[in-house]
Structure 1
């Protein structure tokens, strides 16, 4: 195992949690609608920001590709379920493979 893999997975988790908040439903962030609206708006503002770009890079993703996918609505709850299965199996999720399939 690469000594950098745990750090990469940490940044993947940060990235996916923020994207989940930006695209997910009310149960994602809070049971309270007003809290959810605030968290969702904040997460949406974060997408495409300089901090977002840094996190994407540290997680091993192309920031422009991730931003484009999120803004085009091509990220779903199924993407997060797949991520959790991949982490449970000890593998790393790749949005790049999904993007290649979508482009084909």
Structure 2
């Protein structure tokens, strides 16, 4: 089980997709399929969490990788690239960025 930590042991991808409401579920289905068939088999994959907005216009992919290099190597995988192209085709726009965890407060 992945845990959000400031220890610096992961890099986090946060990708916000803007979609038409009728494309929200198809995009989610595609991202689940990509995660289960490609991403989670890649070296350095830690976790993926998908979120959908109540209004149907956003999908957020919060994924963690062991290193920036592991994430970048995934971008060279033809199977991963194919899924990313399909996802881009369902979205009106998307904004992927890599982050480091800066602060965590847990109950």
TM-score by length of 1: 0.29
More strand by share: 2
TM-score by length of 2: 0.29
More helix by share: 1
